[in-house]
A and B are shown apart, each in its own frame.
Chain A
Amino acid sequence: MGNKRRVVITGIGAITPLGHDVASTWKGLCESRSGVAKITLFDASSFPTKIAGEVKNFDFAPYAAGEEFLGYAGRHSQFAIAAADEAMRDSGLLGGKWAPERFGIYFGAGDGGCDFDNFVSLLNYSWEGEGTSGEIISERYIERAAKILSLYTELEQEPCLAPGHIARKFKLRGPVFNCLTACAASSQAIGEAYEIIQRGDADIMLSGGSHSMIHPFGVVGFNLLTALSTRNECPEKASCPFDRRRDGFVLSEGSGVVILEELEHARKRGAKIYGELIGYGSTGDAYRLTDTHPEGRGAIKAIELALKDAGLAAQSIDYVNAHGTSTSVNDTVETLAIKKVFGDYAKKVPVSSIKSMLGHLIAAAGAVEIIACLLAFRDDIIPPTINYEEPDPECDLDYVPNKARKAHINTAMSNSFGFGGQNITLIVRRFE
């Protein structure tokens, strides 16, 4: 194991409900600000959930200039391109010299929302019969769809478009993947990108994720699953991971991108190094579609595998960036899993969920969370869990309540658990 290629992070980019770049997002996180507000992308006033973490006032036009097809880019593609652009600039690779064949992408882009207005009009046009007694006449649907839908808008719903845009924009010719494993997607992408560099299939990988499900079908879909918070009266307070009053997650949108680079490659070009990725664990719950395993079977195993991969004991972890969705079950089971693996040390290690401020970026969540871990190294600050007011007896760890904390940490663990049972744990270490 000793001769494995080492993987460091040399560039970061983000666009979130707290800002259009890493700096504004990080500032918001350190100042305990919430990015959650009333939904403005459509009229959600009658929906059970009327709040979300929207990316506000984002102008994509400069990124699309001179690129005809980017004019059709869906929100998740737009976010992906913006965050990738920031990460590329930040890494110093933009305009620099590198072999395109050795630079790949492992992304965790979600699906794009549908062309809602056109889709609704199509369904109404194709309906035959009265009230609920009729049905869609497929032939009417197809004929009309072929007339009124825009091909490129339709294609934007495919999750593969975002990494495709990024590859084209930056002329990356390396291996390219996109995984869509719900809330674990971008963490899984980063873990697999790290494996690709370790085994030598590439020297640089652009990884992370992007997603926007703040559309009528997305909100309704999660509402039907009763997964979303309905504390509409105080949006900024709605996401309260580990707090007794938590009642679901807050749906958010955005993107996080990291540039992973083989250590010697990074050193040779004198790159700035944010940290080293040293551990990756991946498991399946194989339990139920909607519930995590009640004893955290898959989560525990993922954490253990990541520690083993890093060659670390649990006591060496200085900070846990929790999945911490603010759903009743997740936060209890995650606490249980941390206690199971960390033993007595669980009560000592700071654990925080930045979803308390950002909401849940779904496929993009893990990437933004790993960025927060890297910035915690840089600035000696642990971002807080805000809205932590009423402790839950089942969640009895140090959640870094409400205010960021000064601390010099050297290793951080980030958990991501997906709907359907994908469990991912990543471990990063300060690079010295």
Chain B
Amino acid sequence: MKKRRVVITGLGAISPAGLSLDDFWFAAREGRPSARPIESYPVKSFPVKIACEIKGFEARNFVPASQRKALKVMARDIQLAVAASKCAVDDSGLDVASIDRSRMGVTIGAALINNELNELGICIRNSNEASGAFSMKKFGTDGMGSLFPLWLLKYLPNMPACHISIIYDLQGPNNSITTACASGLEAVGEASRIIERDSSDRMLSGGTDSKTNPIALSRFYLMNALSLRNVPPEEAYVPFDGRRDGFVAGEGAAIVILENLDHALERKAKIYGEIAGFGSSTSFNYDHKDCKDSRGMALAMKRALDDADCEAASIDYIEAHGAGTKAGDKLEAAAIKEVFGAQAGRVPVTTFKPVTGYLSAASGPFGVVEACLAIKAGEIPPIAGFKERDPDCDLNCVSGKAQKAAIKNVLVNAFGLGGQNASLIVRRFE
């Protein structure tokens, strides 16, 4: 049985570089990092003072008037996903109202969505006795009364996909993948499988994250994963660079519209590329301080190559995961060497991450978006801020400005902290 082919016909991105796809691509190809001093709250005495924050984002500009009421039950991650979806749908030129919406589904990668502290702060405050001690009895009455009825739903990881399906009335399969940093790429991979196997004709897919908030920042800090090189902010997050000491927290959502090739051709859609291959695997690196297992990453890449019926030598560049930690990048470099062998020092490697900051669930979909734009432009964007080669990451890292290239196959990586790895190949459509 011949597999149905899956093509990408719409892109949407909301990132710290700006609220449009063009803003993202401009910063990516110019190599402009987005890290700046944190503005949304003061961090004078905390060792980490920078993040990649999205400025001037108003979710209400991205939803139809009839759905604005729902915005107050959407955490920021959800709002970003909803906004990026609108951009992707608009970009695809798809008239959603006129298609068979039972044949279009939604698969989104999401991470744990962090609570807004003031919301819970007041709830706990109201649960305290006069002495200031917390009382579970008061929590069950006054504390609960301080939260709004739909509070729980504001933070559930399946809600980005739910809100999007409601806004566009998409009744096909609806899934939410939660495998940390691999979530978004696994979501796009799974969405393409759903079209391939004829369970739907179109899918809206991608990932979303907002990791610049105090809860996320404190967790990343506990992991020793954040760069402490605050000055200058632009040079703090430099994946694969010898100076790297961790990442800068970021936020953003990237959404793609996937279509069965015949459906896309029938409506004469603009086609950015084809999902040619997808692979998922596990590694056993639970202890982040002692990451030695590169085999899982290599397996994901090999599976994607096999699935795409593609030799490693035919990959024109790699959209790396590029965690920016000492251990993480070294591990990814080792995995790339295992898969690419003698070619490893030749194939260009880049990552958009200094532009968005570190994302978990949205990371892979941004890689897919960048790959599509790179294929279209015939340019490989650089790793923004990359300067010093590291012998531990002996790869052909793209630095400076975008590099002209005829691009046919792009390998996108996304590796998660729970040991989940995903790789996906975007191919120029021919």
B156 and A135 contact, CB distance less than 8 A = no
Complex-state Cα separation, A381 to B323, whole angstroms:
53
The answer to the question of A343 belonging to the interface, with a C-beta cut-off of 8 Å to chain B, is no
The answer to the question of A259 belonging to the interface, with a C-beta cut-off of 8 Å to chain B, is no
Given contacts A46-B138, A69-B286, A284-B106, are A123 and B172 in contact (CB under 8 A)?
A: no
The answer to the question of A357 belonging to the interface, with a C-beta cut-off of 8 Å to chain B, is no
Q: Which of B15-23, B39-47, B267-275, B347-355 contacts A (4 or more CB under 8 A)?
A: B39-47
Q: Which of B126-134, B394-402, B403-411 contacts A (4 or more CB under 8 A)?
A: B126-134
Residues of A within 8 A of B173 (CB): 282-284
* Count of residues in B whose CB is under 8 Å from the partner chain: 98
Most interface-central of A178, A224, A297, A301 (chain B CB within 10 A): A178
Complex-state Cα separation, A282 to B122, whole angstroms:
40
Complex interface bits, A135-176 against B, C-beta within 8 A gives 1, otherwise 0:
110110111011001010011011111011101100111111
Q: Taking the nearest CB of chain A, how far is it from the CB of B118, in angstroms?
A: 5
Complex interface bits, B281-307 against A, C-beta within 8 A gives 1, otherwise 0:
110101100000001100100010000
The answer to the question of B137 belonging to the interface, with a C-beta cut-off of 8 Å to chain A, is yes
Q: Taking the nearest CB of chain A, how far is it from the CB of B44, in angstroms?
A: 7
Given contacts A142-B217, A168-B286, are A135 and B420 in contact (CB under 8 A)?
A: no
B140 and A45 contact, CB distance less than 8 A = yes
A178 and B177 contact, CB distance less than 8 A = yes
Complex interface bits, A64-101 against B, C-beta within 8 A gives 1, otherwise 0:
00000100000000000000000000000000000001
Q: Which of B162-170, B230-238, B310-318 contacts A (4 or more CB under 8 A)?
A: B162-170
Most interface-central of A145, A176, A285 (chain B CB within 10 A): A176
Residues of A within 8 A of B136 (CB): 42-44, 46, 216
The answer to the question of B242 belonging to the interface, with a C-beta cut-off of 8 Å to chain A, is no
B218 contacts which of A69, A141, A179 (Cβ < 8 Å)?
A: A141
Complex interface bits, A280-314 against B, C-beta within 8 A gives 1, otherwise 0:
00111111111000000110010001000000000
Complex-state Cα separation, A344 to B340, whole angstroms:
61
Q: In this complex, what residue of A is CB-closest to B137?
A: A46
Q: In this complex, what residue of B is CB-closest to A176?
A: B282
Complex interface bits, A166-199 against B, C-beta within 8 A gives 1, otherwise 0:
0110011111111111100000100010010001
A282 and B45 contact, CB distance less than 8 A = no
8 CB-based A-B contacts, threshold 8 Å: A145-B215, A180-B156, A181-B175, A220-B139, A224-B144, A224-B150, A283-B173, A286-B170
Given contacts A174-B282, A298-B171, are A199 and B197 in contact (CB under 8 A)?
A: yes
Residues of A within 8 A of B345 (CB): none
The answer to the question of A14 belonging to the interface, with a C-beta cut-off of 8 Å to chain B, is no
The answer to the question of A60 belonging to the interface, with a C-beta cut-off of 8 Å to chain B, is no
Q: Which of A268-276, A317-325, A346-354, A414-422 contacts B (4 or more CB under 8 A)?
A: A414-422
The answer to the question of A236 belonging to the interface, with a C-beta cut-off of 8 Å to chain B, is no
Q: Taking the nearest CB of chain A, how far is it from the CB of B39, in angstroms?
A: 12
> Which B positions have Cβ atoms within 8 angstroms of A?
1, 41-46, 70, 73, 101-102, 105-106, 110-112, 117-118, 120-122, 124-128, 132, 134, 136-141, 143-144, 147-153, 156-159, 161-163, 165-166, 168-180, 182-183, 186, 190, 193, 196-197, 199, 214-215, 217-219, 221-223, 279-282, 284, 286-287, 295-296, 299, 303, 416-421
The answer to the question of A262 belonging to the interface, with a C-beta cut-off of 8 Å to chain B, is no
Q: Taking the nearest CB of chain A, how far is it from the CB of B242, in angstroms?
A: 27
Residues of A within 8 A of B147 (CB): 220-221, 224
Within 8 A of B (CB), among A219-239: 220-226
A138 contacts which of B126, B214, B282 (Cβ < 8 Å)?
A: B214
A142 and B124 contact, CB distance less than 8 A = no
Most interface-central of B156, B183, B190, B295 (chain A CB within 10 A): B156
Total residue contacts A-B, CB cutoff 8 A: 288
Known: A105-B282, A159-B157, A178-B178. 20 other contacts (CB 8 A): A132-B122, A139-B41, A139-B42, A139-B43, A142-B217, A145-B214, A158-B111, A168-B419, A173-B296, A180-B157, A221-B151, A222-B152, A224-B144, A284-B105, A284-B165, A286-B168, A289-B162, A419-B153, A420-B156, A421-B162
> Which A positions have Cβ atoms within 8 angstroms of B?
3, 42-48, 69, 101, 104-105, 109, 111, 119-121, 123-124, 126-127, 131-132, 134-136, 138-139, 141-143, 145-146, 149, 151, 154-155, 157-161, 163-165, 167-168, 171-182, 188, 192, 195, 199, 201, 216, 220-226, 282-290, 297-298, 301, 305, 418-422
A177 and B420 contact, CB distance less than 8 A = yes
Complex-state Cα separation, A32 to B133, whole angstroms:
43
A173 contacts which of B159, B172, B299 (Cβ < 8 Å)?
A: B299
A179 and B197 contact, CB distance less than 8 A = no
Complex-state Cα separation, A290 to B221, whole angstroms:
36
Residues of A within 8 A of B125 (CB): 123-124, 127, 131-132, 134
Most interface-central of B150, B165, B303, B418 (chain A CB within 10 A): B418
B149 and A224 contact, CB distance less than 8 A = yes
A163 contacts which of B73, B127, B418 (Cβ < 8 Å)?
A: B418
Given contacts A123-B117, A123-B120, are A149 and B222 in contact (CB under 8 A)?
A: yes
A164 and B419 contact, CB distance less than 8 A = yes
A290 and B153 contact, CB distance less than 8 A = yes
A139 and B144 contact, CB distance less than 8 A = no
Complex-state Cα separation, A38 to B409, whole angstroms:
58
Complex-state Cα separation, A288 to B46, whole angstroms:
42
Residues of A within 8 A of B419 (CB): 160, 164, 167-168, 176
Q: Taking the nearest CB of chain B, how far is it from the CB of A77, in angstroms?
A: 11
Q: In this complex, what residue of A is CB-closest to B174?
A: A284
A139 and B46 contact, CB distance less than 8 A = yes
Complex-state Cα separation, A414 to B419, whole angstroms:
31
B282 and A286 contact, CB distance less than 8 A = no
Q: In this complex, what residue of B is CB-closest to A143?
A: B46
B149 and A225 contact, CB distance less than 8 A = yes
Most interface-central of B136, B177, B179 (chain A CB within 10 A): B179
B158 and A284 contact, CB distance less than 8 A = no
Residues of B within 8 A of A149 (CB): 218-219, 222
Given contacts A167-B419, A188-B175, are A195 and B193 in contact (CB under 8 A)?
A: yes
Given contacts A132-B125, A135-B121, A192-B190, are A163 and B137 in contact (CB under 8 A)?
A: no
Complex-state Cα separation, A43 to B134, whole angstroms:
12
Residues of B within 8 A of A199 (CB): 193, 196-197
A177 and B149 contact, CB distance less than 8 A = no
Residues of B within 8 A of A195 (CB): 193, 197
Residues of A within 8 A of B105 (CB): 282-284
Q: Taking the nearest CB of chain B, how far is it from the CB of A286, in angstroms?
A: 4
Q: In this complex, what residue of B is CB-closest to A112?
A: B112
A177 and B179 contact, CB distance less than 8 A = yes
A421 contacts which of B132, B174, B214 (Cβ < 8 Å)?
A: B174
Q: In this complex, what residue of B is CB-closest to A182?
A: B158
Residues of A within 8 A of B197 (CB): 195, 199
A173 and B282 contact, CB distance less than 8 A = yes
Q: Which 3 A-B pairs have the closest CB atoms?
A: A221-B152, A160-B418, A284-B174
